Amino acid sequence: MGIFWEKTTHDAWKRIGKARINQNRYREALDAYNKALEQDPNDWEALRSKGIIFSILGRNNDALISINSALKLKPEESNLWNIKANILIELGQYEEALKACEYSTNLNPNQGKDWEIEGTCLLYLNRYEQALCYFERALESKDNDWSIWNSKGIALRELGRFEEALDVFDQAQKLNPREWKIWYNIAYTLAKQGRFEEALNVFDQAIELNPQEYVLWNNKGSLLGEMGRHKEALIAFNRALELKPDEEEIRKNKDTALYYNDLECERIIPK
C-alpha cells in the first residue's frame, strides 16, 4: 500500500478531493487538494478547486487568493476568469468583476458573454437599465433559471416598474416556490407600493421557509415600524439580533423602535 501511494499520491489526492466535493465534505476536500499541491505546487486545476471550495465555505478572500494563483499559471483559461468574477461579486468588487468577465469573453469569444454574471455586476452598480437588458439576454438561453428571473425582477423594481417586477417574481416563484429570496423580493416590492398588509403576509411566508435568516426578521421589523406597530417591530428586531448579534443596522433599527414605543407608552400613560 505504501508503494502505491508513493507512486500515485498526487492524482489520488485530486480524485479524493473531487469525491469529497461531490459528497459535500468540503473541508476534507480542501485537505486533499492541499496534499496534491504539496506534490505539485503548479497544479492550476487543484488551485481552482481550492478556490471553489473556499467560495462555497464563504471564505471569499481565500478563494480569490487561490484563483489568482491559478491565473498566474493559466491566464488563458477563460473559466478561471468567470470564477474570479463570481468571487469578486461576493466581495462587493463589482467593477473588478466586470473586468474579469471581459477578460473571459476576450479569451473565448465563441462562448459568448456570461449575461447573468455581468447583469449581476451592473445591478449592484445601480445600472438598472443595462442590467435588465443583460438578464433578458440571459433568459433567452436559460428561461428555466429562477435566479435570473429573480434578478430581472429586482432590476424592474429599482426602475419603479413594480407591477412588471411582481409578474417576473411570480415566474421565478413558479420555478422555485420554496426559495425565500423570491418571497422576500415580492414582499419588498409590495412594501415599496405601500401595500403593507400584503407585504407583511408575504414576509411571514418567507420566514416560514427560512426562519434563521436575519434579513427577513430585520425587514419585517422595519415594515412593522412603518405601520406604526412598534412593539411588534421590537420583537422582530430582537429575533434578528439573536441571529446576527453584530449587525449594526439591526441595532439602529431597534433603537428607533424603542424610541417610538416609549413615545406611545407616554401617550397611553401620561406622567
Q: Report pLDDT digits (tens) over 21-36.
A: 999 999 999 999 999 9
Residues 6 or more apart in contact with residue 63 via CB below 8 angstroms:
50, 51, 52, 53, 54, 55, 87
Q: How far apart are CA 261 and CA 234, in angstroms?
A: 9
Q: Enumerate domains of the chain plus CATH numbers.
A: 8-91 (1.25.40.10), 113-196 (1.25.40.10), 211-271 (no CATH)
pLDDT at res. 80:
96
pLDDT at res. 4:
43
Averaged pLDDT for residues 191-209: 98
Residue 53: strand, helix, or coil: helix
Give the number of other Cβ atoms within 10 Å of residue 136's Cβ: 14
Reading the block at residue 266, the C-alpha cell is 407616554
- Helices (H) then strands (E): counts for the chain: 15, 0
Residue 108: band (very low, low, confident or very high) from pLDDT cuts 50, 70, 90 = confident
The CA–CA distances, whole Å, from 25 to 52, 56, 104 equal: 13, 11, 30
What long-range pairs does 50-53 form, CB within 8 A, spacing at least 24? 51/83, 51/87, 52/21, 52/83, 53/21, 53/26, 53/29
pLDDT at res. 9:
86
Averaged pLDDT for residues 205-219: 98
CA angle 61, 32, 100 (to 5 degrees): 35
Choose among 148, 204, 154: nearest CA to 180.
204
Q: Which amino acid, one-letter code, is at 47?
A: L
Q: How far apart are CA 83 and CA 117, in angstroms?
A: 10
Q: Any idea how long the chain is?
A: 271
Q: How far apart are CA 29 and CA 62, in angstroms?
A: 15
The better pLDDT of the pair 19, 113 is held by 19
Q: Is residue 1 predicted with pLDDT exceeding 60? A: no
Averaged pLDDT for residues 217-242: 97
pLDDT at res. 118:
92
Q: Is residue 3 predicted with pLDDT exceeding 50? A: no
